[in-house]
Structure 1
Amino acid sequence: MTEKENIYILAIESSCDDTSVAVLQNDTVLSNVVASQKIHKEYGGVVPELASRAHQQNIVPVTNQALARANIDKKQLSAIAFTRGPGLMGSLLVGTSFAKSLSLALNIPLIEVNHMQAHILAHFIKDESMAMPTFPFLALTISGGHTQIVEVNDYFDMRIIGQTLDDAVGEAFDKSAKILGLPYPGGPLIDKHALNGDPTRFEFPKPKVKDLDFSFSGLKTSILYFIQKQTAKHPDFINENLEDICASIQATIINILMDKLKKAVKQTGIKNIAIGGGVSANSGIRSALKEAENKFGWTTYIPKFEFCTDNAGMIGIVGYHKYKSGQFTDQGITAKARYSLTS
């Protein structure tokens, strides 16, 4: 491909509390800048109003930094890709409005991206050290807001075959951490403490949910009642058993995910498995997938850490493939807080 044929995508991600802008040359990420918002730690969770204000402050300097790191002038850009949804409406509006304005000012195409589709297609970012999935494959998308098993037949041919009926797996991790008195975000801290704990020490019930769907609300409640009961008898119970508690919680959640994934493989006959979303950074889940690969003959695809959490690189790779197939949008586009993967 010659220089004139190169496609340069500037991608914007603002679905929650991270402002991210990336520049891609075809399917290669040249820069991927993320500005995290620390203020939410004070409140134990993301505050939507504060998140949208921070996006307004961050989006211009983050864009300038992404262009500078990529050594690309904005006049070289082929298109602007942005997260349309799902996510927090205020946060999405900042990214959507900025993307529309930039597209209009530069007179280049605008491409809307589904955030969950981007988590799946992040596997197609070119990287010599990482293998790309072959179609068809099953994608387990696990994040703070979503838990889904998706049958992926092509870049834009996806079918949800299982999803959570209530809480997402990331919320289960974070709420469990909050019960234990760990600071936000607590999911990574549970993973950290679990590394040195006994996953069989404490037993928590696994919900009985039909087909390939998930439920985590009951698990959170059982963990809460367990901790309340134990601390009533032994006030220092959490401190004395923190590593074992975290390991047991994590093992239960991983078993729930893996049981459904095994069932999905059996039903579809597809043994190519890819994970995505913020929770895919969890070391226990990664280990469980590798173990299943050896035990059941699966081929597993695990993204780099920088492409697990919310980032614009994954938005850009969707933008690149949409650009090639002529899937552009117009200035009348609006953000969608609830945006189904298959809509």
Structure 2
Amino acid sequence: MPADLIFHHYANSPFSEKIRLIFGYKQLAWKSVIVPNILPKPDVLALTGGYRKTPVLQIGADVYCDTALICDVLEHLRPEPTLYPPHLKGVCRIFAQWADNTLFWAAMGYNFQPKGAAQVFAHAPPDAAKLFAEDRKSMMAQLVRLRPGDATSAYRSYLRRIANMVDEHDYLFGAQPCVADFAACHSIWFTQTQVPVMADILNATPSVGEWLQRMMSLGHGTMAQFDSAGAIAAAKAAEPQPPGANYLVDSAFQDDHGIPLGARVAVGGESFGPEPTEGTLIAATRTHYTLLREDDRTGAVHVHFPRLGYTLRKVEAG
């Protein structure tokens, strides 16, 4: 195993639950750093340089953004049990991309109707819901969201389709879970556990609930409490890994933008979370971008993004 897996997350973050369950599936040990669910996030931004979505995986002075990329890192670290069975390698990735986007936004459009939102913030400070909504509004500026009624209809349909799959198998594509299962379950986990007042939508598809319980039984691996100060210190004490030695095994340069390695660039989300991270482009492969950046608190870090779902642009001098 490499240096410690430091995971920046918060308890009711759906995408964090996706990765926590993969820690369980692969029986990995990890350090837990709880981060705020809204800005300000000074310690997160010191590591990422701008990216503020949750979760983030840190290994020394390497910072991995987006759960799609984190899944690849964990697969390279511990190949078995696999997230990407050879006979399903293409379809499970395509399904996971659909689940992390289309299914997720339908589920959240349903979950955050008034009574669901009220339950989420029932024990929070009086202005928490307002601050959360304002925070997410800026992150969603480029995202087209479903209206509640449309989200409800879509979510019902998607649940029935998932039920059709798990009626036949223990997991979506067979006897073992794959990345598709982890991508699909976190939205439904949120409905069942975080907004149970909304969970009656699951009653029509009992096999989905049974599948979800199988997923939850995987656990969360071996967690140790950590803190953001320790995470910053770990980055400062480490040297970032060179391209090809950073648990992202592809290193061949793929130039689709006319931007050379060594250029000053910005990477941001295509739709959700467009806030850019700036740095020096040191890798642009078929699967990911890597930026070198410097921060007074962390020293040199490499920040990694998946290629799909993110934009790359050159930052002009001056």
TM-score category of the 2 structures, normalised to the smaller one:
0.3 to 0.5
TM-score (norm. length: structure 1): 0.35
TM-score (norm. length: structure 2): 0.37
Whichever of the two has the greater Rg, that structure is 1
Higher helix share: 1
